[in-house]
């Protein structure tokens, strides 16, 4: 099984957090100029802006808006906390609609000390509560399983199988999965779970980066594709075999790369995309 060769950057999407030092306006100009095909906008990048105007700027330069990142963080220890989380997700849905983003990535959340099963139930209930508004705007909600090292406070959904369970429970065409190699590359069930996800028409997004050895920071030491040990081509082949034809989204949190000249970094992103993704 081999992946389709990447010969151009039309299916390359970059997350605004990847080039963290750039504002959203700068990122849009630079990505478009570099021939990047799509963008995933992080919500912090929209603070203090008229969101519809950012959407207009994106459409004017032909950058496809892949998703808004991120919603989620549903679990809470109090009923007020649960309600606040649902409200924040409703706000994210309205922001996505204003931006023109068809999808929101969900980092589902967890509460330290609370049983993971309880958090998973709260996650399913929270998504269910936000779904009517997502239906109004036709916004897809993509559950992103996170590596188990984040099970304490970032996500109780740690495998594709666990994400598929929540999707099964909700059984809704707007609820699917964002598969991020950083979080799932180690999973012995990966091929089978990606196959099932595709079969159920819920493989909504594909995120790429690499895993550094040694990893010096659990959040901000991701590698650029080719720098680490993730079998990227093999996983992309699985994703393509499952019927996925969307963007390959480069999502790299890296203090090391953020300290570099971002124009040079974008050049390296394109090289890594074409050669190692």
Count of CB atoms situated within 10 Å of the CB of 214 = 5
Measured CA to CA in angstroms, residue 86 lies from 32, 62, 90, 106, 123 at distances of 34, 32, 6, 12, 10
Q: How many residues bind Zn ion (CB under 5 A)?
A: 3
Between residue 173 and residue 212, which ones bind Zn ion under the rule CB under 5 A?
A: 180, 207
Give the residue with the Cβ less far from Zn ion, 210 or 251: 251
What is the closest distance, in whole angstroms, from the C-beta atom of residue 106 to Zn ion in the complex?
Answer: 10
Q: Which lies closer to Zn ion via its Cβ, residue 42 or residue 74?
A: 42
Binding of Zn ion by 251 (CB under 5 A) = yes
Is residue 11 within the footprint of Zn ion (CB under 5 A)? no
CA torsion 183→138→22→8, rounded to 10°? 70
Nearer to Zn ion, 64 or 180 (CB): 180
Instruction: Yes or no: say if 16 and 28 are a contact pair by the CB < 8 Å rule.
Output: no
Q: Give the range of 73-81, 120-128, 193-201, 247-255 binding Zn ion by CB under 5 A.
A: 247-255
Phi-psi region of 35 (alpha: psi -120 to 50; beta: other; left: phi over 0): left
SS3 assignment, position 14 = strand
Q: Nearest distance from residue 251's CB to Zn ion, in Å?
A: 5
70 scored as a contact of Zn ion (CB under 5 A): no
- According to DSSP, the β-strands at 203-208 and 175-180 are parallel
Based on the shown chain and the rule CB under 5 A, indicate whether residue 227 belongs to the binding site for Zn ion.
Answer: no
Compute φ and ψ for 186, nearest 5 degrees. -85, -10
Query: Is residue 147 close enough to count as binding Zn ion by CB under 5 A?
Result: no
Least distance from C-beta 239 to Zn ion, angstroms? 13
Q: Name residues whose C-beta falls within 8 Å of residue 268's C-beta, 6 or more positions apart in sequence.
A: 224
* 135 versus 163: smaller Cβ distance to Zn ion: 163
Nearer to Zn ion, 114 or 273 (CB): 273
| CA angle, 95 then 62 then 179, to 5° | 60
- In the complex with Zn ion, which residue's Cβ is closer, 115 or 219? 219
In the complex, what is the shortest distance from the CB of residue 115 to Zn ion, in angstroms, rounded to a whole number? 25
* List of residues contacting Zn ion (CB under 5 A): 180, 207, 251
């Amino acid at each position: 099984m081999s992946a389709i060769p990447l010969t151009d950057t039309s299916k390359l999407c970059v997350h605004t957090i990847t080039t963290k030092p750039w504002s959203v306006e700068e990122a849009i100009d630079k990505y478009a100029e570099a021939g990047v095909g799509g963008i995933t906008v992080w919500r912090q990048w929209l603070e203090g802006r008229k969101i519809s105007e950012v959407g207009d700027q994106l459409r004017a330069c032909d950058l496809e808006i892949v998703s808004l990142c991120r919603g989620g963080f549903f679990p809470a220890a109090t009923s007020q906390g649960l309600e606040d989380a649902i409200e924040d997700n409703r706000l994210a849905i309205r922001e996505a609609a204003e931006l023109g983003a068809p999808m929101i990535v969900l980092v589902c959340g967890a509460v330290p000390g609370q049983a993971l099963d309880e958090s998973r139930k709260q996650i399913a209930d929270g998504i269910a509560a936000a779904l009517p508004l997502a239906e109004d705007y036709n916004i897809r909600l993509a559950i992103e399983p996170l590596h188990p090292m984040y099970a304490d406070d970032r996500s109780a959904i740690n495998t594709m199988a666990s994400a598929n369970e929540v999707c099964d429970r909700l059984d809704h065409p707007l609820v699917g999965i964002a598969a991020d190699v950083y979080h799932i590359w180690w999973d012995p069930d990966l091929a089978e779970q990606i196959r099932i996800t595709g079969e159920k028409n819920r493989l909504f997004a594909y995120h790429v980066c690499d895993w550094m050895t040694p990893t010096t920071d659990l959040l901000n030491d991701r590698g650029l594709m080719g720098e680490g040990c993730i079998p990227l081509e093999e996983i992309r082949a699985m994703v393509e075999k499952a019927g996925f034809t969307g963007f390959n989204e480069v999502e790299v949190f890296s203090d090391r790369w953020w300290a570099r000249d971002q124009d040079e970094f974008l050049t390296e992103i394109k090289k890594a995309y074409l050669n190692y993704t």
